[in-house]
Structure 1
Amino acid sequence: MARTLTSHDDIRQWAQARGGNPMLMDTPDVHEDRTLLTITFGQHALNAERNEGPDVNPYGGWNLSGWEEWFAEFDKQKLAIKVNDDQPGSLDNDFTFVPRDGDKAEQTTDAARQPPNVSIKSPDPADRAS
């Protein structure tokens, strides 16, 4: 059974019990810069070049942050975290960001919510090589 966490203390305790650390990444968006959030666990905080965050990011990558800075952005974006209930003897670190306003749809970007403005036409037989 899944549960949704909004309390800063509950989220911090849940993450720290699993060796989690908060991370932020600023990315350019069409209208304004956008800040992405994640929680990284254990050794995943360092990439292959021993820098913070996942490998290869054109925007500069993830940066480890303090909880206060992370929660400020978390609250600004009005998010909650959906986690699974722990099974006896194990701690599950899977989580999903969801909107805090009660809408159960998973959080995603505007680009993912709107279909692309492209048209697809059937190939022209004349374009095929003989």
Structure 2
Amino acid sequence: MAEQPGNQTPDTPQVSETELRDLKVDELRQRAKEAGVSGASNLKKEELVEAIAQQSGGGSGAASGGGERGDDDLGAGPDDGRVRQGPEASRSLDYSQKVTSTDDEPEREGRSLATTHHEVIREWAEARGGRPATVDGTEHGDHLGVLRFDFGESTDRLREVTWDEWFETFDARRLNFIYQETRTDGAQSNFFRLDNPEREDG
């Protein structure tokens, strides 16, 4: 009989990644929490599979809290998701629902939302096929220029960067992320803007 595909992660013989991939995301998150994986509620399905396999086999890395921090555990950021205040804060910030956790839900369809929570921002962008990017030609020395998301539009002006680079610049400039999850009709919205409370144009 041919060998069944199973665990592809070294040193984790007791865990079948094939079996894990058959589980629903909620079931994977429960298994991850039981295995002691940190940040399980923020991980995508494939990240959960890998994290459970690593943790169950005693592996190390971002999923088990050791090694170099990767893009799969961004966390809340230095302000714990709270919006930043300043003399030039956008008026729309006052009217936006503040989001400080990935568990926060909009109060209604089309609600304007605001956050600095790294994982909330990443999940929002990735749900729309967005990747972190900067606008070429707007750099300041070694620092990234204007921050954007690349949604796969036909433009050669955007240069993809890592989430770590994107958020390092986002935090250094003390920006707020103002966005919508849905339009008033309930359809998914891609609207967002970066607000700098210390300068009129973020």
Interval of TM-score (by shorter of Structure 1 and Structure 2): 0.5 to 0.7
**TM-score scaled to structure 1, two decimals?**
0.57
CA contact (8 A) 1:97 1:106 kept: no
Tell me how far 1:27 sits from its aligned partner. Answer: 3.7
Q: Which residue of 2 aligns with 1:91?
A: 188
Higher strand proportion (structure 1 or 2): 1
- The verdict on how the C-alpha distance between 1:8 and 1:92 changes in structure 2, with shifts beyond 3 A counting, is same
Q: Which residue of 2 aligns with 1:76?
A: 172
- Find 1:39's aligned residue among 140, 149, 162: 149
Q: Which residue of 2 aligns with 1:24?
A: 134
- The CA distance in 1 between the partners of 2:128 and 2:200, in whole Å, is 23
Q: How does 1:48-67 map to 2 (within 5 A)?
A: 54-55=155-156, 61-67=157-163
Q: Which residue of 2 aligns with 1:127?
A: none
- Find 1:2's aligned residue among 88, 99, 112: 112
Q: What SS does structure 2 have at the residue aligned with 1:107?
A: coil
CA contact (8 A) 1:23 1:40 kept: yes
Tell me how far 1:62 sits from its aligned partner. Answer: 2.4
Q: Deviations over 1:32-87 (max 9, x none)?
A: 5462110121x21xx4xxxxxx24xxxxx421111111111111111111012424
Tell me how far 1:25 sits from its aligned partner. Answer: 3.4
CA contact (8 A) 1:23 1:38 kept: yes
Tell me how far 1:8 sits from its aligned partner. Answer: 0.3
Paired amino acid for 2:187 = S
- The CA distance in 2 between the partners of 1:85 and 1:78, in whole Å, is 22
Unaligned runs of 5+ in 2: 1-110
- The verdict on how the C-alpha distance between 1:13 and 1:106 changes in structure 2, with shifts beyond 3 A counting, is farther
Q: What SS does structure 1 have at the residue aligned with 2:148?
A: strand
CA contact (8 A) 1:27 1:36 kept: no
CA RMSD of aligned residues (A): 2.5
**TM-score scaled to structure 2, two decimals?**
0.38
Q: What SS does structure 1 have at the residue aligned with 2:146?
A: strand
- The verdict on how the C-alpha distance between 1:28 and 1:84 changes in structure 2, with shifts beyond 3 A counting, is closer
Bigger relative CO (Cα 8 Å, ≥ 6 apart): 1
**Identity among equivalent pairs (%):** 29
